Amino acid sequence: MAYTFVTGGASSGKSKFALQLLSSRKDITFIATGVKTDAEMELRIAAHRRERPAAWKTIEEPLDIISAVGHMDERHSGLIIDCLTMWVSNLLYMDQCDGSEIIERAEDLASHLEYLDKKIVVVSNELGMGIIPASGESREYRRLAGEVNQIFARSSIEAYLVVSSIGVKIR
């Protein structure tokens, strides 16, 4: 079964929108890629946890999403992965992956998701609508995140752009 891709700017309401897409289901696995790197990130992660229904299973996995998918409860009918841009950052800085390895992992993950018989929602930030970053490192991160988003959008059955908590279907 193909998946739904949800993208938008930072703090645009993407995660809430993704939760709404599967809100009628109790049998959901949520894969969270965020890592507590500082106090502000710890607060953001805690807030996201509170937004999810208690019955949902959460797997916190910053790097190996395919393995995390393998650990989801087989009885669960749905899966949310939130978010790809954090995953790209983790691969760059925690796992020291280069750009080609990140793209390969993204293609593998997108392909893997296409064959699961689950309702799947994949969340990612759209980073390419702002100013051009000043540092080469930031530009490379933005480029990689954009390429990963293109891979997932291209393979999705439907896609939404979330702006101010409103999801606009773009595919």
pLDDT per position as a tens digit, 29-74: 999 999 988 999 899 888 888 889 989 999 999 999 999 999 998 8
User: How many CB atoms are located within 10 Å of the residue 75 CB?
Assistant: 6
**104-108 CB contacts, 8 Å cutoff, 24+ apart:** 106/147, 106/148, 106/151, 106/152, 107/151, 108/66
User: In what helix (H) or strand (E) does residue 133 lie, and over which residues does it extend?
Assistant: none
- Has residue 159 got a pLDDT over 80? yes
- Using DSSP bridges, classify how beta strands 78-82 and 28-32 pair: parallel, antiparallel or unpaired: parallel
Residue 48: active-site member: yes
- Has residue 1 got a pLDDT over 90? no
The pLDDT value given to residue 166: 97
Distance CA 169, CA 158 (A): 7
- Has residue 164 got a pLDDT over 90? yes
Q: Which of 48, 71, 76, 112 is catalytic?
A: 48
User: How many CB atoms are located within 10 Å of the residue 11 CB?
Assistant: 11
Burial degree of 18 (CB within 10 A; 0-12, 13-18, 19+): buried
Query: How far, in Å, are 21, 71, 88 from residue 58 at the CA level?
Result: 17, 10, 20
- Each domain of the chain, given as residue ranges in start order, spans 4-169
What is the model's pTM? Answer: 0.95
CATH 3.40.50.300 fits 4-169, yes or no: yes
Distance CA 32, CA 53 (A): 14
pLDDT per position as a tens digit, 133-143: 999 999 999 99
What does the pLDDT average to over 69-88? 94
- Has residue 78 got a pLDDT over 80? yes
- Has residue 171 got a pLDDT over 70? yes
Distance CA 87, CA 106 (A): 10
